[in-house]
Amino acid sequence: MKVFASPSRYIQGKNALFTNAKTLKQLGDSPILLCDDVVYGIVGERFESYLIDNGMTPVHVAFNGEASDNEISRVVAIAKENGNDVIIGLGGGKTIDSAKAIADLLAVPVIIAPTIASTDAPTSALSVIYTDEGAFEKYIFYSKNPDLVLVDTQVICQAPKRLLASGIADGLATWVEARAVMQKNGDTMAGGNQTLAGVAIAKACEQTLFADGLKAMASCDRQVVTPALENVIEANTLLSGLGFESAGLAAAHAIHNGFTALTGAIHHLTHGEKVAYGTLTQLFLENRSREEIDRYIDFYQAIGMPTTLKEMHLDTATQEDFLKIGRQATMAGETIHQMPFVITPEDVAAALVAVDAYVTSR
């Protein structure tokens, strides 16, 4: 059975947060505005005022930084106490994933408003849940995608360009993983086989990022919105989000989850930075051509992504550390099992080292 999933509505553009009151009010009058203190200072307070000015009664709740069961339960209790009828997640991936979980438990609509284009979390009907300490715990799947995704490119262009680069790296995994799932005729995150639309979107994501990624990085560096930046924000958010959900995840994201088994400086890296190395590792596991691997390495290096174990803070890692990553990446239920061949913890460990050996010998 083929399945395609998407949010009910996606709106992107300059000042999108401050020009869509009518659409927002259609979903509820009394929102929880979930954002961390940094985001609240940058745009949250102004957005809260905009909601009030347009007849809504928002309750601002400060997000504690971790998409964990405890944090989700805390905010659910606040929303129940206040009788809120819609959840707005304003911020990065963990804020967004928490907002989706909170809305699902309350059975109310959810509005996703990313302030960075660093992940493809906004559009999907799933959340990645971590322990309070930040280790990957589980995926939660929902019966529907977000009711509204509101992407303000004027806000996103002011975020650090490292975060845009991380989103590009996360987005570049979309086609690599979709292609592997296609070869297996495997299952996607939407709960079925791929649609032609899902695969086409995944391919368009890769094409857009290679075409416009470097131009978008330059725009972000000067905090200006350009057609290239608009395209890349859409690729990072909409194309990558629809692509990973409806065309599937494979080894790259499973290896990212494997990295969470380790302690230390690797946790200072972003989601996309870890996915970049996971993508190279998948390309090695598949024994892809040197031309394709070099294309990814060159592009990652141009946007500041890690391509060596030293840049991953793993230059002192032991064989047991690599096997630990491999064991976590190959756990039952992990997306690495959507690859068209069996992969063992030892295979993952070998490929992690092989990527570094190849990159450092070029």
Between 260 and 326, whose confidence is greater?
326
List the CATH number of the domain containing 134: 3.40.50.1970
pLDDT at 134 (0 to 100): 84
Cross-strand bridge partners of residue 2: 193
Question: Is residue 59 over pLDDT 90?
Answer: yes
16 and 122 co-located in one domain:
yes
Question: Is 68 a member of any domain?
Answer: yes
Q: Is 337 known as a binding-site position?
A: no
Question: Is 233 a member of any domain?
Answer: no
* pLDDT, tens digit, 9 for 90 and up, residues 188-228: 999 999 999 999 999 999 999 999 999 999 999 999 999 99
Q: Is 170 known as a binding-site position?
A: yes
Q: Is 120 known as a binding-site position?
A: yes
Question: Is 278 a member of any domain?
Answer: yes
Query: At 51, is the pLDDT very low, low, confident or very high (cuts 50, 70, 90)?
Result: very high
Tally of domains within the chain: 2
- Last residue of one domain, picked from the residues 156, 185, 201: 156
Question: Is 121 a member of any domain?
Answer: yes
Question: Is 123 a member of any domain?
Answer: yes
Q: Which residues contact 164 (CB under 8 A, 6 or more apart)?
A: 116, 117, 118, 156, 216, 217, 220, 232, 233, 236
- Last residue of one domain, picked from the residues 156, 191, 211: 156
Question: Is 231 a member of any domain?
Answer: no
Between 81 and 133, whose confidence is greater?
81
Q: Is 116 known as a binding-site position?
A: yes
Question: Is 88 a member of any domain?
Answer: yes
In contact, 112 and 150? CB cutoff 8 Å: yes
Mean pLDDT of 331-338: 97
Domain coverage including residue 302? 250-362
Mean pLDDT of 321-350: 98
Q: Is 271 known as a binding-site position?
A: yes
149 and 256 co-located in one domain:
no
* pLDDT, tens digit, 9 for 90 and up, residues 269-285: 999 999 999 999 999 99
pTM of the model: 0.94
Q: Is 78 known as a binding-site position?
A: no
Q: Is 201 known as a binding-site position?
A: no
**How far, in Å, CA of 284 to CA of 359, rounded?**
12
Q: Is 180 known as a binding-site position?
A: no
- Last residue of one domain, picked from the residues 134, 156, 178: 156
Count the residues in the chain.
362
pLDDT at 119 (0 to 100): 82
**How far, in Å, CA of 42 to CA of 325, rounded?**
36
Give the number of other CB atoms < 10 A from CB of residue 291.
7
- Tell me the catalytic residues: 170, 253, 256, 271
List the CATH number of the domain containing 289: 1.20.1090.10
Mapped onto helix, strand or coil, the DSSP state of residue 95 is: helix
* pLDDT, tens digit, 9 for 90 and up, residues 67-101: 999 999 999 999 999 999 999 999 999 999 999 99
pLDDT at 44 (0 to 100): 98
Question: Is residue 136 over pLDDT 90?
Answer: no
* Residue type (1 letter), 287: N
In contact, 4 and 189? CB cutoff 8 Å: no
Question: Is 223 a member of any domain?
Answer: no
**How far, in Å, CA of 103 to CA of 105, rounded?**
6
* pLDDT, tens digit, 9 for 90 and up, residues 149-170: 999 999 999 999 999 999 999 9
Question: Mean pLDDT of all residues in the chain?
Answer: 97
